[in-house]
Structure 1
Amino acid sequence: MPSFASKTLFAAIAGAASVAAHGHVKNFVINGASFQGYDINSFPYSQNPPKVAAWTADNTDNGFVGPEDFANPDIICHKNAKNAGAHAVVAAGDKIFVQWDTWPVSHHGPVIDYLARCENGSCETVDKTSLEFFKIAEAGLIDGSQAPGKWASDQLIENNNSWMIQIPSNIAPGNYVLRHEIIALHSGGDLNGAQNYPQCFNIQVTGSGTAKPAGVKGTSLYTPTDEGIRFNIYRSLNSYPIPGPRLIAGATPVAQGTSSIVSTATAVTGTAVPTAATTTVAAPVQTTAAPAPVQPTTTAVAQPIQTSTPVNNLPRPTRCPGLGRRHARDVARN
Structure 2
Amino acid sequence: MSSIKISALLGAVTLLAKANAHGIVSGILVEGKYYPGQSHYSTEPSAGWKADNGDNGFASSLTDENIICHNSAVPGTQYVTVAAGSSIELQWTAWPESHKGPMLDYLAPCGDDCTTVDKTELQFTKIDEAGLVDATSSPQVWASDEMISNNNTWVTTIPDSIAPGKYVLRHETIALHAAGDSNGAQAYPQCINLEVTGSGTNSLSSGTLGTELYTLTDPGILVNIYYPILTSYEIPGPAVMAGGGSGTQPSASAPASGSGSGSNSTSTAAFSRSSSAFGSAPPSSSATSASASSAVSATTSVAVTARPTTGNAVVSSTTSGAAVTATAGGRKFVCYEEL
Instruction: Calculate the TM-score normalised by the size of structure 1.
Output: 0.72
2:58 aligned residue: 64
Which SS does the other structure have where 1:108 is aligned? coil
1:244 match = 237
- Partner Cα separation in structure 2 for residue 82 and residue 163 of structure 1: 23
Larger Rg belongs to: 2
Match of 1:54 in 2: 48
Q: How many residues align?
A: 259
Match in the other structure for 1:149: 140
CA, structure 1 residues 118+58, in 2 after alignment: closer, same or farther (shift >3 Å)? same
Native 8 Å contact 2:171 2:191 kept in 1: yes
Please give the secondary structure, in 2, of the residue aligned with 1:178.
strand
| Runs ≥4 residues deviating over 6 A | 287-291
The CA deviation string for residues 59-98 of structure 1, in whole angstroms up to 9 with x for no partner, is 00001025xx223111000000001011111000000001
Paired AA for residue 158 in structure 2: I
Q: How does 1:225-244 map to 2 (within 5 A)?
A: 225-235=217-227, 236-244=229-237
- Cα distance in 1 for partners of 2:147, 2:175 equals 13
User: Which is helix-richer, 1 or 2?
Assistant: 1
Residue of structure 2 equivalent to 1:107: 99
Structure 2 residue matching 1:175: 3-state secondary structure? strand
TM-aligned CA deviation for residue 34 of structure 1: 0.5
Matches within 5 A, 1:308-319: none
Partners of 2:155 and 2:262 within 8 A in 1: no
- Counterpart pick for 2:109 among 112, 117, 142: 117
Give 1:308's aligned residue: none
Residue of structure 1 in register with 2:286 after alignment: 285
Identify unmatched segments of 5+ residues in structure 2.
1-14, 266-283, 292-303, 312-339
Q: Flag the structure with more relative contact order, 1 or 2, with Cα contacts below 8 A and sequence separation at least 6.
A: 1
* 1:293 shift after superposition: 7.1
What amino acid maps onto 1:167 in structure 2? I
Q: Distance in 1 between matches of 2:236 and 2:98?
A: 20
Would you say 1:194 and 2:185 are equivalent positions?
A: yes
AA aligned opposite 1:52:
S
User: Which position in structure 1 is the counterpart of 2:296?
Assistant: none
**C-alpha distance in 2 between matches for 1:222 and 1:74:** 12
What's the TM-score, normalizing by structure 2? 0.71
Give the alignment partner of residue 119 of structure 2, picking from 116, 125, 128.
128
- The one-character-per-residue Cα deviations of 1:126-149 (angstroms, maximum 9, x if unpaired) are 100000000000000012236762
1:97 matches 2:86: no
Please tell me the residue identity of whatever aligns with 1:78: H
Shift of residue 255, structure 1, vs aligned partner: 3.1
Q: 1:31 aligns to what?
A: 31
Greater mean alpha carbon deviation, residues 138-147 or residues 55-64 = 138-147
> In structure 2, do the counterparts of structure 1 residues 84 and 255 end up closer, same or farther at CA, with 3 Å as the change threshold?
same
Is 2:92 the counterpart of 1:79? no
RMSD, matched Cα:
2.7
* Structure 1: runs of 5+ lacking an equivalent: 1-14, 44-48, 267-282, 299-334
The offset of 1:216, in angstroms, is 0.2
